[in-house]
């Protein structure tokens, strides 16, 4: 679905990026991965792919990799994705997520390549009175974290490079992605954290009342969206989610955990987040295929296997 020719995947040693790289290799594509391995893992990189250990903020390095690979599609997933770190060090968050995206867009401009950008859904929309749930792309973004703001800025630069240089981009606003290879990192990492604690026989910790909701979307479905976006109509911003709210207590129940331990709510946490992905269905023909009832047990099994349990 992503079309022919070599591709570059930034962040291809990470959770979503490596799963995408596997799918591209399976399609017979020549895959070049750009990753500094600061949060990604070498063992995630498919052996058929070429790893370039580089920082996406290095304009010359990224441009050289894209041009030498002859890539006409760049899947840009490398990012500073930790909301807590973004709040603690907003300059670092902006440096990686904004300057890194500019580096990728500059490389795409000079190489004549398309960019499929991993944006954020709930992180961009935020939460405010009158925000529709599920949230469509027409809703006004009002981020509540530096991470959401920096990713939204990346979307803006994608649009700018389209207007100024004709760079074709597709911006995918992702829900809370979960699945095999997920690290206990960021909000969506609660699935990996809960799975680990269940395996250890420990209680799961719930912050607040546990009724806060997210749109949990399985990684294989997200990869399908990236593949479709690689060949679909450019200059689009599309939500990628299930349209279904799942609470933290729902996660505990589906995973089969016992009574959780409750802690005070964390400041700034969204109470509700859910995406309307009907536009992606119309533009890409994409629909989520994996329910949380199916995806969570698969994730738990993958954590068990990874730990040798």
Q: C-alpha distances in angstroms, 166 versus 31, 56, 119, 162, 247? A: 24, 22, 20, 4, 41
Distance, C-alpha 135 to centroid of its chain: 17
Among 125, 147, 157, 216, which one carries the catalytic annotation?
Answer: 147
Beta strand 246-247 pairing with 213-214: antiparallel
Residue 147 falls in the annotated catalytic set: yes
Contact criterion met (CB below 8 Å) for 70 and 37: no
Task: Check if the beta carbon of residue 3 is closer than 8 Å to that of residue 230.
Answer: yes
Structure tokens at 255: 């995973």
* Spatial separation of the C-alpha atoms in residues 307 and 309, rounded to whole Å: 5
135 vs 173: CA distance, rounded Å: 11
Question: What's the rounded Cα separation, in Å, for the pair 296 and 217?
Answer: 10
Contact 271, 212 (CB under 8 A): yes
CB 173 within 8 A of CB 275: yes
Q: What are phi and psi of 77, to 5 degrees?
A: -115, -15
Q: Look up residue 293 and give its two tokens.
A: 């009832």
Active site positions, annotated: 147
């Amino acid at each position: 679905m992503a079309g022919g020719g070599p591709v570059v995947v930034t962040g291809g040693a990470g959770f979503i990026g490596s799963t995408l790289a596997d799918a591209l290799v399976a399609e017979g594509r020549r895959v070049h991965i750009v990753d500094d391995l600061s949060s990604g893992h070498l063992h995630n990189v498919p052996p058929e792919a070429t790893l370039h250990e580089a920082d996406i903020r290095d304009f010359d390095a990224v441009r050289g990799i894209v041009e030498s690979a002859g890539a006409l599609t760049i899947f840009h997933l490398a990012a500073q994705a930790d909301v807590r770190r973004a709040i603690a060090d907003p300059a670092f968050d902006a440096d990686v997520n904004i300057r890194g995206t500019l580096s990728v867009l500059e490389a795409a401009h000079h190489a004549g390549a398309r960019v499929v950008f991993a944006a954020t859904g709930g992180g961009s929309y935020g939460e405010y009175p009158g925000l529709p749930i599920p949230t469509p792309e027409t809703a006004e973004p009002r981020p509540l974290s530096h991470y959401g703001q920096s990713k939204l800025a990346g979307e803006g630069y994608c649009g700018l490079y389209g207007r100024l240089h004709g760079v074709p981009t597709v911006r995918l606003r992702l829900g809370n992605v979960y699945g095999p290879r997920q690290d206990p990192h960021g909000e969506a990492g609660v699935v990996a954290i809960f799975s680990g604690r269940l395996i250890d026989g420990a209680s799961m910790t719930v912050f607040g009342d546990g009724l806060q909701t997210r749109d949990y979307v399985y990684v294989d479905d997200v990869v399908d969206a990236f593949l479709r976006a690689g060949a679909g109509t450019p200059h689009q911003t599309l939500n990628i989610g299930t349209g279904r709210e799942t609470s933290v207590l729902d996660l505990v129940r589906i995973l089969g955990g016992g009574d959780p331990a409750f802690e005070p709510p964390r400041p700034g946490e969204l109470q509700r987040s859910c995406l309307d992905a009907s536009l992606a269905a119309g533009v890409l023909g994409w629909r989520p295929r994996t329910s949380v009832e199916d995806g969570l047990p698969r994730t738990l099994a993958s954590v068990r296997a990874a730990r040798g349990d």
